[in-house]
Structure 1
Amino acid sequence: MALEIIRKKDKSLKSKWWYGRFEINGKSKCANLGIEIKGKVPLTLREVGDSLFERSRAQAQVKLDGLIFEARSHKAAEKHLQDLYELKAGDALQNAPLTQMEEVWDDLPSKKPRSANWRRTQHGSLKAFRDYTVNKHPHVGFMSQITHSMALEWMRNLDEKGFGAETYNHKLILLRSVFVPSAGTGVLRNPFDGIPPKRKTNVHREPFTEKELNTIISHCDKLFRPIFITGMCTAMRRGDCCMLKWESVDLKNGFITVDTSKTGETAEIPLFPLLREEIEKQPRKGIYVFPEAAEMYRVNHHGISWRLSQAIKAAGIAATKAGPNKKASNIKGFHSLRTTWITMALTAGVPMELVRRVTGHSTVNIVLKHYFRPGREDFREALESALPKTLTGRNTKRKSPSAQLRELIDQADSMKKKELVRKIEKILNEMAA
């Protein structure tokens, strides 16, 4: 325990600050005390300097004594907490290295089985935290050495990288769950406690129109086309579409039955003719219906999203808009197919229980809050068609021009030319009104 002055080879001062050296836990530490060296500096600290120098030396000694006292008090408090933990828990604390964070997470209880993809994602987040921390703080090697300031530093780093609120909060919850005080890790205080989550400013995915769906299909490449049609016809998530297995497809009875990767809920989906035709084209080369897409999703799932973005761009469809923070947000992506299916089904009058059975959602609230996004005209048409004349003022349940046009196309072969022209003109007049 001694005061130090840092000098150059010629004995002149290299730093104008006093330094203090002390030992804690068998390790020697040297700290800048923040006290400026003043007055005439003697050749060695064994000699006495002038009054200004000796006054600064005394101030530095007081600061050094305070640091030593604080460090020893902190060590004593940690030892007290450790003894108390062992007394209450009946188990000695282990000092787990940072390299075991993934194992700690794997051993945490989970309500539902974790998929391989989810495990890989979480392990990647933990490794990113470890690599960043070790790079910034090389002396840190154990979980018990992670401090609250280090945890804050990591979360600020995520914020600066532009992570959205949902991803930011997921990573915070992950690390908070791993650093729960336990005998197996040696962690006495959770360094992530007290860090608030980000407030979400959700920009919901908007549904595609029927015309947009058909246009996108025409711009899909060979690998992506069957995946897009699967998502469009089933409302399944991107991963479930890519990783669809033959064992889940019942061609005889016309159904797909899958346990969704996100919630683990069982979804039962009728096999529509468009999708059935696409599946029947696929050769059975293994367990997956679309083996090339399954491999791409396993190696780099962003490749699937990129293909959709290219098809949307080629189709000339606007896919972004300014969100609450004026930052451009993606409003049309693969998840929009799920929103599209649910919106079309509910608008058409499909009972909520059947929609939930197809999508695998456990509550009505989730469906209505996150997925039911009808356009204004569709919303108006659905209400006016269902509500009585007393409320709507309509003499009849009038169909929208687009609905009338679809009906007319189906009936065109059986109609005379004059009648067909008359009805087309009527629909055009309604659309112009």
Structure 2
Amino acid sequence: MGLKILPGRDGGTRPTWYARFTRRGRKVDINLGVPIRGTIPTRPDEWGIKRVDLSRKGDAAFEQSRAQALAELERMKVEVRTTGDAREVKNAKDALQAARYYRARTGQSVKGVRLGDLAELWIKQKRSYTPSAIWTKAVATWFARFAAFAAKYASEHGGRCETVDEITPGIATAWFDALRTSFTWETVTKQMSLLRNAYARYAVNKDERNPFADIVMRNRETANARKPHRPLAGVELERLFDATRDNAALYPLIVTAACTGMRIGDVCNLKWEDVDLGGGIIDCTTAKAGVRASIPIIGRLREVLTAASAIDADGKAPSPFVFPRAAERYRTNPTGVYREAKPYFARAVFVQEEPGDALEADAKAPPPLEGVIGQANFADAKRARLLEEYRLFKSGTASAHIAARLGVSRAQVSMDLAEIERLTGESLRPVASLRPDRKSNRDLLAQTREKREVGRRAASLYGWHSLRATFVVLATEAGVPLADIARIVGHTTTDMTMEYFNPEKKHAAERVRRQMRGTALDAPAPTETITQGDATPVDALVASLTVEERKELARRLLGL
């Protein structure tokens, strides 16, 4: 590294001293901010033009300014070495450039952001929303783990890494390799994205390439390693519709997701401005990729949207969202939205409907909690607490969060939920089934997950995203062109859409049965003989029975 005088635009020289060095094969000049004084020494070239020659000695004023420039150069070197900021000390040229960059813009000595302070700085950033406690804790944990790893890795390789600018591509790659051996790809992506953005925001040397930018997060190998959500067969989808039909909050979301292939976040946040009921189309932008999706409104979906528009029209203050309650829940507690639907998916896939199930469910329908608590001899405070705990739990809020919100212990919440179960007879929490031929929610939910080869948590095989895969499979089997399906689900390429086309044996069997229906190989349909007048519909008969008669009918049908 040495001093240099650069030519100016007017044919003369620039008024200040510069230092030159080579970084990654590219020459870089740094302005030292020291004015050039006196007469600059020169020498004539072969054409007689005077050129600056710093190997010669100038007059007293020039030599004095040269000495000041050298002193400034050394001072900045020492500053970088003693503070340990900007870049690794062994690369003094890069450190000098970073120090000069920072000083030129702030007027202060360079002081890089320490890795130990990243979490606090990142969490305290101004945002349009208030981060949740869970997110804050996760971010603090991720930054702390990376800081400890970076310090250890740098020490083992003869260096150090205490600030953001000291992160090297080697450290970033080693951390990426460590993450993907222990965590799922979703977690790896979140952590690497967080570190990449933190480096871009807090690095002093903005000219240095982001060490996290060149890491390829997805390739064919990693994409194939993912556990795709499995699509539902037609009969399973019908069971899901039937099971949720009486759930006014869940049924519209399930129908919309199944009929559009939209992600659950896009379904919950769907706005009326994107819906054209008259034209029969939904034209919205996906939240994940920002791609415009054009979705036709088909049978079941039209019924749901028409019903939602009627509800919205009756409201005093119409919401911009098609499903206002779902939009609010997804904003405040997205996990609750996933959790509420999970048991319905499990039963739709793994439980075959048994005779009398619907009757027994009607017979054992729990009474309203408000009425039961009103009859109990509870203090007003306890009555209000039980009602609020019940509301929060049914909305998908975890017991720990209920306890924190109400200011009680988790043990108290558990006892209160047990009290509610005793009063109403409703099973709120997964317990072992009292019948050996029935599976509990806990057993069913376990079947919807599969252990990953890499990752601490099991992969979800059935859930909201299964409806996206179901739409792709059913639309493909119905003969819809792949390009149209990609446009509907918001994919930029058909290759991406084909990743969702994952039919299983049950889909093939269902398709064969449908296509073979009516052939010579198909069993003849049973003939029905009515011996007495007009038959009364079964639903009407069941509706005319009392609760006790329904219980007796259910017991007889089940052979109990």
Alpha-carbon contact 1:143-1:186 (below 8 Å) kept: no
What is the TM-score normalised by the length of structure 2?
0.46
More moved, 318-327 vs 346-355: 318-327
Cα separation, partners in 2 of 1:76 and 1:259, compared to 1, 3 Å? closer
Structure 1 pair 339–197 and aligned structure 2 pair: CA distance change class (3 A) = closer
Matching residue of 1:207 = 231
Separation in 1 of the partners of 2:300 and 2:478?
19
Deviation at 1:229, TM superposition (A): 0.8
When structure 1 is superposed on structure 2, of 148-157 and 283-292 the one drifting more is: 148-157
CA apart distance, 1:144: 4.5
C-alpha distance after superposition, 1:386-422 (max 9, x if no partner):
xxxxxxxxxxxxx7223455x89xxxxxxxxxx9x97
Match of 2:463 in 1: 333
Counterpart Cα distance in 2 of 1:117 and 1:212: 39
In structure 1, distance between residues paired with 2:512 and 2:483: 27
Distance in structure 2 (CA, Å) of the matches to 1:325 and 1:157: 11
Deviation for aligned residue 1:237:
0.3
- Give yes or no for contact 1:216–1:312 (8 Å, CA) kept in 2: yes
Aligned to 1:290: 323
Q: Per-residue deviation at 1:169?
A: 3.3
Q: Give runs of aligned pairs for residues 26-425 of structure 1, distance below 5 A.
A: 77=90, 80-85=93-98, 91=104, 95-96=112-113, 98=118, 99-101=120-122, 126-130=139-143, 143-144=164-165, 163-180=183-200, 184=204, 200=222, 201-220=225-244, 221-282=247-308, 283-284=311-312, 285-315=318-348, 317=350, 318-324=447-453, 328-368=458-498, 370-376=499-505, 378=507, 400-403=512-515, 405=517, 423-424=524-525
1:186–1:246 CA distance, 2 compared to 1 (3 A) = closer
Aligned to 2:542: none
Q: Deviations over 1:253-299 (max 9, x none)?
A: 12111101111111111111211111222222411111111111101
How far 1:159 moved relative to its partner?
6.6
Cα distance between partner residues in 2 of 1:404 and 1:422: 10
Matched residues in 1 for 2:259 and 2:130: separation?
24
User: Could you list the runs of 5+ residues in structure 1 that have no partner in the other structure?
Assistant: 1-70, 107-114, 382-398, 409-418, 426-433
Find the aligned partners of 1:124 and 1:223 in 2 and give their Cα distance: 31
Matches of 2:130 and 2:231 in 1, distance apart? 27
Query: Counterparts of 1:331 and 1:345 in 2: how far apart (Å)?
Result: 20
For the Cα contact (< 8 Å) 1:297–1:304, is it kept in 2? yes
Percent identity of equivalent pairs:
25
Secondary structure of the structure 2 residue equivalent to 1:315: helix
Q: How far is the alpha carbon of 1:87 from its aligned partner?
A: 5.9
Stretches of structure 2 that go unaligned for 5 or more consecutive residues are 1-80, 152-160, 313-317, 351-446, 527-560
The answer to which structure, 1 or 2, has the higher relative contact order (CA under 8 A, 6+ apart) is: 2
Q: Secondary structure at the match of 1:179?
A: helix
CA shift for structure 1 position 379: 5.4
Pairwise CA RMSD:
4.9
Partners of 1:356 and 1:233 in 2: CA distance = 14
Cα deviations by residue, 1:330-358 (Å, 9 ceiling, x for unpaired): 21111111111111111221111211221
CA distance in 2, matches of 1:130, 1:121: 15
Helix, strand or coil: the match of 1:362? coil
Q: Structure 1 stretch 122-131 or stretch 293-302: which is displaced more?
A: 122-131
String of CA shifts for 1:170-194, please: whole Å, max 9, x gaps. 4224313432597647897967689
CA distance in 2, matches of 1:371, 1:80: 51
Q: How many residues align?
A: 315
Offset of residue 82 of structure 1: 2.8
- Partners in 2 of 1:301 and 1:216 — Cα distance? 21
Q: Tell me, yes or no, if the aligned pair for 2:164 and 2:202 is still in contact at 8 Å.
A: no
Q: Are the structure 2 counterparts of residues 265 and 181 from structure 1 closer, same or farther at C-alpha, using a change threshold of 3 Å?
A: closer
Amino acid at match of 1:255: I
CA distance in 2, matches of 1:341, 1:325: 28
Contact 1:94–1:185 at 8 Å: present in 2 too?
A: no
Partner letter of residue 216 of structure 1? Answer: L
Is the Cα–Cα contact under 8 Å of residues 230 and 462 in structure 2 kept in the other structure? yes
Deviation of the 1:322 alpha carbon: 5.0
